[in-house]
Structure 1
Amino acid sequence: MTADDYVEQASEIFVLSDSFIRIRELIDDEASTIDDISEVILLDPALAGTVLKLANSPFFNYPGKIDTISKAVLVLGITEVYNLVIAYFTTEAFKKINANQAYLDDFWIKSIDCALLMKFLGTSLGIVHAERLFILGLLHNLGELVVHQLTLEKHTACESNDINLLPWHKQQDILGFTFGECSAGLLKEWQLPYNIFAAIRDQDIDDLSQYNVETQLLYIAKRVMSKNQVFKGQSLDYSSLVTKEQLELLCLDKNMLENAVDYCDLERLSLLAILNPRASMLY
């Protein structure tokens, strides 16, 4: 099976709701208003509640209270609220997966860690609206769930906590593609914005000089997350996963990476409690 084969089958199993499709259409329509978008979000109480919880979480650190969806769109912006909508419906779509709950909890913890690292590093670099980067971290590895659902034996064969055989290299050997490429294919099938699926598609390309800052940051954040989650318990330095030249390309250093991990440890629970309450109980 190719990555396209996996995506084709997965798109029939993991489907975004009609509400998401309607919200996407409104956002793409220049004639739509904040009220139009807010009204559709309000039709789904669970979605509206999640958006408000995220908008008021420490993740955004907004000084006031955001108590209506209209205010969330006004304060955070349409693009940011759209990212929150994507986060909600993606986690909802994958609730249909046939998988052990402990595995799923671990998967979403890794995804949220990568999302938080993306946000912190983007903010540290002075990237405008760095919060938007969190969606790349959150969705970067959805292809793993796709492979787990469709060919569990190949998913198991792809597992690796050997620093000399990195998981994404093993995925390429076993599948002929990486989980990242499969993730990007599904997100493209869902008609998510190009700047989301392109960065996710290219997350494992080592020559970062040819790619934009979003792709570069995802490359770094994924490997920092892997050091602390995939290879946890092993005595590794960041240099085992990220070269000095790659860090210098983004003006990052080891101290900034350690600060990003501290931020992740501080904020992980609050995001887990909103996006995956069960996983938050692990903490």
Structure 2
Amino acid sequence: MTADDYVEQASEIFVLSDSFIRIRQLIDDEASTIDDISEVILIDPALAGTVLKLANSPFFNYPGKIDTISKAVLVLGITEVYNLVIAYFTTEAFKNIDANQDYLDEFWMKSVDCALLMKFLGTSLGMVHAERLFILGLLHNLGELVVHQITVEKQRACDSHDLNLLPWVKQQDVLGFTFGQCSAELLKQWHLPYSIFAPIRDQDVEDLSQYNAETQLLYVAKRIMSRNLVFKGQDLDYSDLLTKEDLALLCLDKSMLDNAVDYCDLERLGLLSILNPKASMLY
């Protein structure tokens, strides 16, 4: 089976709601207003509540209180609110997956860590609207859930804690594609923007210098997350998963990576408690 085959089967199981489709249509329509978008979000109380919780969380660090959806759109911008909507509906789409809860908790913890690392490093590098980068980290490995649902034995065969056989290399050996490539195919199926699915598709490329900053940043954040969670307990250094050349492309140093990890440890529980409350119970 190819990544397309998996996504074709998964698209019948993991479906984004009509509300998401309507919001996406409004955002694509230049004639739509903030009120138009706000009204559709308000139709879904759980979505509206999640957007407001995220908007008021330390993740955005807005000095005032955002108490209405229209204010959230006005203050954060349409793109940021759209990203929050994507985050909500993505976690909702996978709620009915046939998987062990411990496995799902660990999966979402890795995704949230990658999202937080992306946001912190993007901010540290002065990237404009760095908060938008969190969606790349959050969605970067959805393909794993797709493979788990369709052929759980192959997903388990891809599991690796061996530094000499990195997980994404083993995925290629077992499946003929990586979870990242499968993630990108699903996001394309959902008609998400190219700016989201392209870095996710390319997160395991060999020559980073040929790709944009978002792809480079996801490559780095994923490997920091892997050092902390996938290879937990092995006392690895950053250099075990990242070369000096990788870091030089983004002008990153060890101090910035340490600060990113500290930020992740500080904010993980808050973000998990909003996006996946069950996983937050791990802490």
Alpha-carbon distance in structure 1 between the residues aligned to 2:130 and 2:105: 26
Deviation at 1:254, TM superposition (A): 1.1
Percent of matched pairs sharing the same residue: 86
Alpha-carbon distance in structure 1 between the residues aligned to 2:73 and 2:117: 24
Deviations 1:5-50 (A, max 9, x none): 0010111110000000000000000000000000000000000000
Counterpart in the other structure of 1:237? 237
Across the aligned residues of Structure 1 and Structure 2, the Cα RMSD in angstroms comes to: 0.4
How many residue pairs get matched?
283
Alpha-carbon distance in structure 1 between the residues aligned to 2:217 and 2:134: 11
Deviations 1:218-250 (A, max 9, x none): 000000000000000002111111100110110
Alignment partner of 1:12: what SS? coil
Gaps of 5+ in 2: none
TM-score (norm 2): 1.00
Note the 1:185-224 alignment, pairs <5 A: 185-224=185-224
Gaps of 5+ in 1: none
Deviation at 1:255, TM superposition (A): 1.1
Counterpart in the other structure of 1:115? 115
Alpha-carbon distance in structure 2 between the residues aligned to 1:144 and 1:156: 10
Alignment partner of 1:95: what SS? coil
Runs of 4+ in 1 over 3 A off after TM superposition: none
Alpha-carbon distance in structure 1 between the residues aligned to 2:254 and 2:175: 33
Alpha-carbon distance in structure 2 between the residues aligned to 1:234 and 1:155: 23
Counterpart in the other structure of 2:273? 273
TM-score (norm 1): 1.00
1:28 partner amino acid: D
Counterpart in the other structure of 2:10? 10
Note the 1:10-29 alignment, pairs <5 A: 10-29=10-29
Alignment partner of 1:209: what SS? helix
Alpha-carbon distance in structure 1 between the residues aligned to 2:159 and 2:278: 24
Deviations 1:177-227 (A, max 9, x none): 000000000000000000000000000002111000000000000000000
Deviations 1:52-82 (A, max 9, x none): 0000000000000000000000000000000
Note the 1:1-283 alignment, pairs <5 A: 1-283=1-283
Alpha-carbon distance in structure 2 between the residues aligned to 1:189 and 1:140: 15
Alpha-carbon distance in structure 1 between the residues aligned to 2:225 and 2:187: 22
